[in-house]
Structure 1
Amino acid sequence: MRTTFKYTAILICFFMVIMMAWEGQKSDAAVAEVAIPKDSIRLRILANSDGTQDQLVKRQIRDTIVEQMNQWVSGLADPQSLEQARTLIRSHLPELNALVGAELAKRGIEYSFNVELGVVPFPTKMYGGTVYPAGDYEAVRITLGAGQGQNWWCVLFPPLCFIDAGSGDAAAPAATKGAKTVAASAADDNKVQPAVGKAVQKASVTEDDSSTAGKEPKVRFFFWELLQNIWSWISGLWS
């Protein structure tokens, strides 16, 4: 009786592990399937420097801007269009500028900043396992001080900024195993529209269409084999 109970407990544990692994695979697939469309608007925040204080300020400004922008963009009527998002962001540039200024003032920081919407240069970036080549992309670029520190970027429209892409810099695309290089096209507005900020420093600046086809069959095959092995093991317990 005690032996049967032990085997039953082990069996339950195995099934729990399988279920957790399966959920994990589904979550990973969901993230991998998030694609950055050609027609999109990015957000890039360049820190003053790599110093601890400057990086902290960058993250705090990031949180404030992303929260506010997501509220504005999500308020658009469905279906949303790139032109709608562009118009919305342009109309709120003074408010974005004020938000950045308020965050800096709150912390007693006096260096300059600049908020702009336009087609700006991005270095090679990686997003969701996909490498996006360096090029010009439409974006809201926020430069803090000298803009020489590590950057943070995401996609404002469609709103994908809930995913923290970090810096996402990819130094050597060819060395990235399994990464797909996507040819990106820049938006058609070649004018950079500065908001009210102050001096800008030179900033090098980044995107998707990740293909997950072919991954699902492998996942299913793995779990089918695992189930077969477990069943064989269970059958052996009572044989």
Structure 2
Amino acid sequence: MSEQKRTSGKMTAAAMLFAAAFALAVTLSVCGRAAAAAQARLQEHLAQEVLRFHVLANSDSEEDQEVKLKVRDAVLAYLEENMPEEYSVRQTEDWVRAHIDKIEETGRQALLAAGSDDTLCAAVTTCWFPDRTYGDLTFPAGNYEALRVEIGSAGGHNWWCVLYPSLCFLDTAQAVMPDEGKQKLKNVLTEEEYSEITAASDFKIGWYFW
């Protein structure tokens, strides 16, 4: 075989490899954009169906983290006792807004009982959350409505759960989520969407700290 033919063959092989690599890159790019778009649609739909609960500690000191959990417990106990269970997510948001003063009062009483002189404020607001696994469900990153409770400077590790549907649990050793809340969520999502948020879960226990 002549040198010219060998050179031509090498160039043809290189061109074929380049074309294959280019086709693969295009395919991966298209698939990546499609997956990202699907994830965004899932997050937007999910955000319309849930209300999250977010408690931010004053700092990362052991004392402030303990106070955060006491505030959490007090507010959740008030909500469990008083918030109607049959409400939709929009009705739940409206109820929480209407009772925000009582929620703040409940949190402040918990602070006083813990010997803390920190300030506390609460509001239903739009918050950005990163990807978080909660029990056996994974919530994609994005903006969600949340009952946000800030303690002091709100500079410490925070705690969160899903207030509606009722997916809050405190037993982090077991991480067992209420079946009723999961069923409500399943009812408002498509089968594909629900499968997507369960398939992405890995049952990590450190879901609520960052």
TM-score per shorter chain, which class? 0.5 to 0.7
Are positions 1:60 and 2:60 aligned together?
no
Q: State the alpha-carbon separation in 1 of the partners of residues 172 and 142 from structure 2.
A: 18
The TM-score, its normalising length taken from structure 1, stands at 0.50
Q: Give 1:144 shift.
A: 0.9
> Any conservation in 2 of the 1:154–1:164 contact (CA below 8 Å)?
no
Counterpart in 2 of 1:100?
Answer: 107
Q: Give 1:103 shift.
A: 1.4
Amino acid in structure 2 at the alignment position of 1:119: T
> Any conservation in 1 of the 2:138–2:197 contact (CA below 8 Å)?
no
Q: 1:90 to 1:164 in 2, by over 3 A?
A: farther
Aligned length: 134
Q: 1:130 to 1:107 in 2, by over 3 A?
A: closer
Amino acid in structure 1 at the alignment position of 2:120: F
What fraction of aligned residue pairs are identical, expressed as a percent? Answer: 32
Counterpart in 2 of 1:89?
Answer: 96
Counterparts of residues 59-138 of structure 1 (less than 5 Å)? 59-73=69-83, 75-76=84-85, 78=86, 80-138=87-145
Q: Secondary structure at the match of 1:120?
A: strand
> Any conservation in 1 of the 2:104–2:122 contact (CA below 8 Å)?
yes
Amino acid in structure 1 at the alignment position of 2:90: E
Q: How big is the alpha-carbon RMSD for the aligned residues of Structure 1 and Structure 2?
A: 2.7
Amino acid in structure 2 at the alignment position of 1:135: G
Amino acid in structure 1 at the alignment position of 2:144: Y
Q: Give 1:123 shift.
A: 2.5
Structure 2 unaligned regions, length at least 5: 1-45, 174-195, 201-210
Counterparts of residues 1-239 of structure 1 (less than 5 Å)? 38-73=48-83, 75-76=84-85, 78=86, 80-162=87-169, 209-211=197-199
Q: State the alpha-carbon separation in 2 of the partners of residues 42 and 122 from structure 1.
A: 10
Structure 1 unaligned regions, length at least 5: 1-35, 167-207, 213-239
Amino acid in structure 1 at the alignment position of 2:125: G
> Any conservation in 2 of the 1:45–1:141 contact (CA below 8 Å)?
yes
Q: Secondary structure at the match of 1:65?
A: helix
Q: State the alpha-carbon separation in 1 of the partners of residues 172 and 51 from structure 2.
A: 15
Q: Give 1:162 shift.
A: 2.6
Q: Give 1:100 shift.
A: 1.2
CA displacement, residues 184-229 of structure 1 (integer Å, 9 cap, x when unaligned): xxxxxxxxxxxxxxxxxxxxxxxx83149xxxxxxxxxxxxxxxxx
